[in-house]
Structure 1
Amino acid sequence: MATGSMETALMSDPTAKLPDDILVEIISRVPYKSTRCCKCVSTRWRDLIAHPDHREKLPQLTLAGFFYKIYDLKRRPPDSHGYLSVSGNWCPIDASLSFLPKCEKIDLLDCCNGLLLCRCSKPYPEEPDYLVCNPATEKWVTFPANEWSSESYARLGFDPAVSSHFYVFELVPAVALNWNLKYEYNIEEVGIYSSKAGGWTHQIEWDDPIEIRNFSGGTFLSGVLYLCSYNNLVAAIDVEGNCRFIPVPTLNDARCGPYIYASRGQLYVANYGAAEVSIWVLEDSCSEDYWTLKHNASYLQLFGSSSKEYYGVISAHPEDDVLFITVETTLPGCPYLPYVPLFSESLADGH
C-alpha cells in the first residue's frame, strides 16, 4: 500500500494501528448487542470476533429461537406463524410482528442472519408484496413481487458483515401430477431480487426442472444460496445468477432427502436413515467440491431407543455443534427457521 493510502486508512480507522489482542480485549468489554454490531465494522473485526481462539473471551452468535409455520384448518387463515425461544428472555422481540404494515395475510417464508422474509397478500386482484424485516429493531422494507409470486417459493440471502443489502431468490415451480397421483413441485425458474439494484436483476431457467424440498429451506453462505432437492443434489445459486449442482452423500435406507445448514462458515448436510444420522461437511477445493464425514451416530446412541418413531433434523446452531431433531409420529413436519438477532439499525431503505 502506498504511504498516502496507509495514512488515509489510519485516519478513517483509528483502530487499524491496534494489535489484534488489544482490539479483542476492548471488544470483550462491550455488551453482547454491541458485539454483534462490531461484526459489521470491517472484515478484520468480523474475523477477530468469529475466530475460535477468541470464543471464550468474546460473546458469540447466540441462537434466540425459531420462527415456524402453523398449519391448522380450523384457523382463519389456516396457516400462520409462531415463535419458540430457546435462550430465555435475553432477547425479547415482538414475535407476532405487529409492527408490520397491515395486510390481508402475512406469509412467513424465510429467515437469514436476523432478517425475515414475508409475503403480504392483498385483496384480489392486487398482486402481493414481499416484505423484509428485522424483528430486533422493528425495521422493515417492502417491494413488489412478480406476477407469479403467489405460486412461488422464495428464499432470503443476507450477510450483514458484507452489506446492509439483501437478495431474494424466487423459485417458480412447474406443478405436475406424477404416476402415483401426487403433485410434484419441480422448480423450473429462479428470479433474483437485489435491494441494492432496487429490482429483479436475474432470471434463470432450468432445462430440466428439479424438485426442491420445500420444508428444508435454503442456506445462504458466502453469496451463494444452497437448496436441497429430492434428487440427492444441492443446487448452488449465486447472486449473479450462476447455478451449479453438487451431489450429496446418501444412505441406502434414507427416510427422505438430506437437510443442509451452515455452521461456522461451512456448509453441512445431515442424512437420516432408518437407524442413524450422518453429518458431512463440504470441502472447497480449486478443482471440485467433495464431502467429508464429520459425525455418525445411531438413534439408539442418541435417544436410547430404536427407530420406531420418525426422527428428523429441523435445524442447527450457527456456531455450535448442536442439531435440533424432532420426533414425529403422525403429525406432518413444518419449516423451522433459526433466528439469530441482528441489532444493527442498518436495513437498506428500511422504515
Structure 2
Amino acid sequence: MAASLLTDDLILEILSRLPARSLHQFKCVSVPWRDLITDPTNRRKLPQALAGFLYMAVSNNRRIHHHFASVYGAVAPFDPALHYLRPNKDEGITQVDACNGLLLYRRYKKNKATPWIEDACHFVVCNPATGRWVELPHPPQPQEPANSRNHTTGLAFDPVVSSHFHVLCFEYNFPGAYIKGVNIYSSRAGAWSRRDSGMVEKVILCSKCVYVGGMLYVIGNLKHINGEYVLVGVDMEGKVWKTIRVPYG
C-alpha cells in the first residue's frame, strides 16, 4: 500500500540504485512496475544486464565492423561500434576485457611509421548500456617494452557487491617476463596503487583474466618446471596472492 503512494519518478530513482539482477526481479512485483522498468524511455536511468558477445568482422574492403550478439536474440541496446570512444581518426581502440556489463578498452594514437607500436596508450572503462565512460590516468610505473599490448590487464566489477570497479595491470620483470607486481586502479579512490608480487613462484601469464569471488584469476606458466600451468589469483588490494596447480591431461 505504501508503494502505491509513490510517484513514478520516485520509484525510478529508487530502482536506479539497485543492481541489475535485483532490478529484473522487481519486474514481478506488479504490472505497473514491470511496464515502468521495461519502458524504453527509462533505459538510461536504470541499470541494464547485458548477456551476449561482442565481436569484430572484417569486410572485403578491410574495414572492421563491431557487432553484438544477444544471448536472448534481442536487438543490441547500444551501438557496438562505440563511436564516442574514438573522437578522431588518428586514434585506435582495442577491447581488453569485459566484466559483468562493463567493458575495458585501450585507446591509443596510431603510429603510421611503426603500426605495431601504440603511442600514448590509456585505458577507458565503458558501460555500453548507459553510454557512460571514464578515462583512467596512466599507471604509476612505466611499462616495458614500449608496446603495452603485451601486458595482461583485467577488469573486476560486481554490481551486486558495489558500483565501483577495479582495473589490474600486471607488471613484468624483463628479461624473462615473470610477474613482479601489479598496478591496481580503484574507481572509488580514482587513483592507481602498486603492489609487489606476493608469489614465490616465477610465473609467466598466458591468458585472459576472469573475476570471481573478489579475486582476479589468470592462467600462468611455470616455465622452469616443465611448462606446468597454474591459476594465479590476486585480490583487489594486491595483498592476497594464490597459485593453484592446473591438473595435467
TM class by shorter chain equals 0.5 to 0.7
Count matched residues.
195
In 2, Cα distance between equivalents of 1:236 and 1:25: 32
For residues 250-301 of structure 1, what are the alpha-carbon distances to aligned partners after superposition, in whole Å with 9 as ceiling and x for unaligned?
Answer: 143xxxxxxxxxxxxxxxxxxxxxxxxxxxxxxxxxxxxxxxxxxxxxxxxx
CA distance in 2, matches of 1:247, 1:32: 47
* Unaligned 5+ runs, structure 1: 1-13, 15-23, 42-60, 177-183, 253-351
Cα RMSD for the two superposed structures: 3.8
Within-5 A mapping of 1:326-341 = none
Equivalent residues of 2:170, 2:179 under 8 A apart: yes
Aligned equivalent of 1:223, options 214, 217, 238 = 214
Identity %: 31
2:187 maps to what in 1?
195
The 2-side partners of 1:101 and 1:153 are apart by 23
Q: Indicate how the Cα distance of structure 1 residues 247 and 116 shifts in structure 2: closer, same or farther if over 3 A, else same.
A: same
Gaps spanning 5+ residues in structure 2: where? 1-13, 15-23, 112-117, 222-227
Which residue of structure 2 aligns with residue 116 of structure 1? 103
Counterpart of 1:102 (choices 87, 94, 113) is 87
Is the Cα–Cα contact under 8 Å of residues 98 and 155 in structure 2 kept in the other structure? yes
Question: Counterparts of 1:160-309 in structure 2 under 5 Å?
Answer: 160-174=159-173, 185-205=177-197, 208-214=201-207, 217-230=208-221, 231-252=228-249
- What's the TM-score, normalizing by structure 1? 0.47
Which TM-score applies when normalising by structure 2?
A: 0.63
Does the 8 A contact of 2:153 with 2:209 survive in 1? no
Contact 2:68 2:76 in 1 (8 A): no
Tell me the secondary structure at the aligned position of residue 99 of structure 1.
helix
Q: How far 1:27 sits from its partner (Å)? A: 4.6
Shift of 1:175: 5.7
1:1-150 equivalence runs, <5 A: 27-28=27-28, 29=30, 30-31=33-34, 34=37, 64-68=51-55, 75=62, 82-102=67-87, 104-122=91-109, 127-146=120-139, 147-148=142-143, 150=147
Contact (CA 8 Å) 2:230, 2:243: kept in 1 or not?
Answer: yes
**Which residue type is aligned with residue 181 of structure 2?**
E
Contact 2:92 2:110 in 1 (8 A): no
Which fold has the larger relative contact order, with Cα–Cα distance below 8 Å and residues 6 or more apart in sequence? 1
